[in-house]
Chain A
């Protein structure tokens, strides 16, 4: 940040994208990560706080559209949300002061192991709109996270919106931290589309124990066509650990991480049972 000589605050998305098209530019959303950056490669900061078009939450084209500048507080306060787990996840993140500042786009772009919102967004089949000054592309969040946001998103691109398909489903999110404001040790989310008690489609995702939050496609596919029973919960929560490449964590041994994930996945499946 020390080499920054220009600080701009555009009033429209096209001018923000134009500013980001120049080398050495970096977008500032809530600023909670960038303010601590020691990087010397940036010469210009593009503050997005005037872009009111990115602060909206709307239902359009049978999907929920959330602007990238929506704060966690805003997301946590949505009344009648089609996805109560978005409220639950957003209100569980960090502390009030940080929830007031940190944004949906920032949470996705951070690309660190301890983010919570992407865990829920992965389970909800979220698509991400990436725009630069001349083009745009919509990609699955899982695609970005299979790579890494810093590699997948080009330096002149900006996350502007996310889309969550609206469909009749049950969803759940659980996390474990030592205190309310601590970095997550383990988290899990799930979304199930059911026909009666039988699962037609299900996504399970986890966070905290891998370098980035990720989906669990193998165990999820094993659940399709089945009814969630206590035996299935026991089986899946144990089985899922085989699919996870646990990262080293000085706060928790792999055995402890496995125990936590088992509990988180069990809780999610219990919620999806009802």
Chain B
């Protein structure tokens, strides 16, 4: 067993774990259930997190590799009382059906918008590649990201 210590959404966590534990399984074992397990081998994208500012698939990151890092999950974006524009737009556009892929997809979009506040459709599609959704057909999610980008730009201009 190896001790892993990391920060999730600003809160420190420390736990002993087997050396081959993925970051995904580690996060779920400490109660972070918004990070979903789909394929477990880096293909479906349901387990995306932001690790030290880098969007990655937590099923193909070792927990011990994430030792000392700052992890952000969908909870870092907003909550029901104070949602992030991405969360509002996904709801408004009907971009969420079963919801399994959504936490990771929101983080993928957030990661892209932080670098590129004015993306075109091609860039939005590229940012969501590798995030499989079996319900929506992606059209509404692309519309939602476009809408969120516009709201975020307007909010920034108002500040």
Contact = CB atoms under 8 A, between A and B. Distances in A.
Contact of B42 (A2, A28, A98): A98
B19 A1 contact: yes
Interface stretch (A32-40, A189-197, A216-224, A261-269): A32-40
Interface stretch (B30-38, B48-56, B90-98, B146-154): B48-56
B15 interface: no
Dominant secondary structure of chain A at its interface with chain B: loop
A232 B45 CA distance: 43
B130 A45 contact: no
A100 B18 CA distance: 25
B7 to A, nearest CB: 17
A95 interface: yes
Interface in A15-67: 28, 31-32, 34-36, 45, 47, 49
A96 B54 CA distance: 10
A98 B67 CA distance: 19
Given A1-B19, A4-B2, A32-B60, A98 B130 contact: yes
Interface in A208-241: none
A256 interface: no
A25 to B, nearest CB: 14
A89 to B, nearest CB: 15
* Residues of A in contact with B, size category: 20 to 34
A117 B45 CA distance: 22
Nearest to A71: B54
B2 A31 contact: no
A80 B16 CA distance: 46
A106 to B, nearest CB: 12
A229 to B, nearest CB: 34
A31 B108 CA distance: 19
A101 interface: yes
Contacts of A2: 18-20
B57 interface: yes
Contacts of A7: 2, 19, 64, 67
Contact of B61 (A1, A31, A180): A31
Interface string B49-88: 0000011110111101101000000000000000000000
B54 A4 contact: no
Interface of A: 1-5, 7, 28, 31-32, 34-36, 45, 47, 49, 91, 94-98, 100-101, 180-181
15 contacts: A7-B19, A7-B64, A28-B62, A31-B61, A32-B57, A32-B60, A34-B62, A35-B59, A35-B62, A35-B65, A36-B60, A97-B56, A98-B42, A100-B54, A101-B61
Interface of B: 2, 18-20, 22, 41-43, 45, 48, 54-57, 59-62, 64-65, 67, 108, 111-112, 126-131
